[in-house]
Amino acid sequence: MSTLNNAFADRPISLTAPSGIDRAAHHRLDEAWLAAAWSHPSTRVFVVSGGQVLIDDRPDGTTELVMTPAFEAPMTETHRYFLGTDTDGVSYFALQKDSLPGRMDQSARPAGLREAGLLLSPRDAGLMTHAVALENWQRLHRFCSRCGERTVIAAAGHIRRCPVCGAEHYPRTDPAVIMLVTDDQDRALLGRQVHWPEGRFSTLAGFVEPGESIEQAVVREVFEEAGVTVGEVGYVASQPWPFPSSLMLGFFARATSPEIEVDGEEIHEARWFSREDLEAGFASGEILPPYGISIASRLIELWYGKPLPKPGDVV
């Protein structure tokens, strides 16, 4: 669509950069291979608990996921998830525990994906995203939806099986659409959710409903939340969003009418912004950009033509 600014088209979206990890799904049912991989001295392991991991802020300014050899990892009977291998043949596992280990040194600290995803390398961010998504699903789907019995973990954390009725359950991913809407003046429609701080604006978003295409979801959500009708819809990119189990599908959309009528439930305020309006709002502090990890930031940047300010930046 004409809104796209190609200067930013090739820059990776947070949590989507190539991680260098092969998920090696063909090994998940090979118990002998998994046992050998677990016992190999090069294997690296980290703990995930409540969506958090331990990260380490290094003296050189980088941040790393805290990992240990398997023989130093905390004991667990079943909650051990195989995440894949890298090009050097190193295998990676995550352990789901009720709590994170104590601080391993003075610099290690717990962090969730919203913070760590912006700090970690593509490899570490990819591993953490995979592990957090599995942990979320495992914690919320312990019982069989057919018969109600407790299920057991299989396929190195990627399946839950019911020992009674034999049903297999797989990790759930809920598709959600997120869209930057523009009008015939190339202004962007941004909204503020009811629970957001004053001045924080972002793109509109919502879940895809049963029996609905993703394009239909864009049209419906924009109208439901802001009362704006949409015509042309164009796909841009996607982003894993394990909060707890979504895949964000990013779009540009063109409004066919400029009238705004917010729903008052999800969206408290919505406005049309020109690029000049947005720049002036950032400069005055009246407008706060969306959180940097979200694909919303990239959608706005592609229209805006330059990076959005980060917290504390002077525009």
DSSP 230-250: EEEEEEEEEEEETTTTEEEEE
Question: Does the pLDDT at position 164 exceed 90?
Answer: yes
Question: Does the pLDDT at position 104 exceed 60?
Answer: no
Question: Does the pLDDT at position 295 exceed 80?
Answer: yes
List, in sequence order, the alpha helices (H) in the chain: 31-39, 113-119, 122-140, 214-226, 275-284, 295-304
pLDDT average, residue stretch 148-162: 97
Task: Return all residues near 187 (Cβ < 8 A) that are at least 6 apart.
Answer: 272, 273, 274, 277
pLDDT average, residue stretch 204-219: 97
Higher pLDDT, 103 or 52: 52
pLDDT average, residue stretch 55-68: 94
Identify the pLDDT of residue 12. Answer: 78
Amino acid symbol at 215: E
The model's confidence at residue 77, banded by pLDDT at 50, 70 and 90, is low
Identify the pLDDT of residue 136. Answer: 96
Task: Return all residues near 257 (Cβ < 8 A) that are at least 6 apart.
Answer: 228, 229
Q: What percent of the chain has pLDDT over 90?
A: 86
Higher pLDDT, 312 or 70: 70
Identify the pLDDT of residue 105. Answer: 59
Identify the pLDDT of residue 111. Answer: 96
User: In Å, what is the CA distance from 62 to each residue of 106, 107, 119, 145, 311?
Assistant: 15, 12, 7, 43, 19
Identify the pLDDT of residue 310. Answer: 77
Find, among 284, 230, 285, the residue nearest to 254 by Cα: 230
Residue corresponding to tokens 């593509």: 122
Identify the pLDDT of residue 106. Answer: 67
